[in-house]
């Protein structure tokens, strides 16, 4: 709801030679800014390739007058709608956004939010393939630059696991690192 107030300006001009005066008045109506929207979540962190959840705006008067921006771009990247799905899931970094609502020709103070995309950690297993005899064992070791928590497809944790496949054929083990 807008609560207009007004201010009136008056100007008087006097002719220097005749002394005649002329007055003119202008009234300016001032609309209050609409309420700042609330954004949920305000800041999101994802790993590259993760599905991204929409950002929700609440506190609006008319969902068709919600404007989503990515500064410094001054025109909206989405107009209308209470949900916004940020893009750019393949590049690491932080992308900042703002959202405002428009009422009676005025935009609200923008609500800011960001989406951070983290790089995936690097992981290497000590060798890509092994050939062993049934009943024998081999130690698999994974490493990553930096730190992380390891988990293996056979349930082991830590950077190494000892495996002894019981069946002949191909045995596949996967290591996952969480940074």
The pLDDT of residue 171 is 83
State residue 2's pLDDT score.
Answer: 46
φ, ψ of residue 65 in degrees (nearest 5): -115, 35
pLDDT digits (tens, 9 = 90+) for 29-44: 898 899 999 999 999 9
Q: Which two tokens stand for residue 136?
A: 């024998």
pLDDT tens digits for range 100-157? 999 988 999 999 999 999 988 888 888 667 788 888 888 899 888 878 889 999 999 9
Under DSSP, is residue 64 helix (H, G, I), strand (E, B) or coil?
helix
CB 95 within 8 A of CB 88: yes
Express each pLDDT in 53-83 by its tens digit.
Answer: 999 999 998 888 999 999 988 899 999 999 9
- Lowest-pLDDT choice from 46-50, 106-110, 166-170: 166-170
């Amino acid at each position: 709801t807008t609560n207009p107030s007004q201010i009136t300006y008056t100007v008087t001009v006097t002719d220097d030679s005749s002394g005649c005066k002329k007055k003119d008045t202008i009234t300016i109506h001032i609309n209050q800014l609409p309420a700042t929207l609330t954004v949920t979540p305000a800041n999101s962190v994802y790993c590259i390739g993760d599905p991204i959840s929409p950002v929700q705006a609440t506190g609006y008067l008319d969902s068709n007058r919600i404007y989503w921006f990515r500064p410094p771009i001054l025109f909206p990247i989405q107009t209308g709608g209470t949900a916004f799905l940020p893009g750019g899931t393949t590049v690491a970094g932080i992308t900042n956004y703002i959202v405002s609502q428009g009422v009676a020709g005025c935009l609200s103070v923008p609500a800011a939010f960001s989406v951070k995309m983290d790089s995936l950690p690097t992981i290497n297993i000590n060798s890509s393939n092994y050939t062993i005899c049934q009943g024998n064992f081999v130690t698999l070791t994974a490493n990553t630059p930096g730190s992380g928590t390891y988990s293996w497809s056979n349930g082991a944790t830590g950077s190494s696991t000892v495996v002894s496949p019981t069946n002949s054929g191909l045995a596949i083990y996967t290591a996952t690192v969480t940074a």
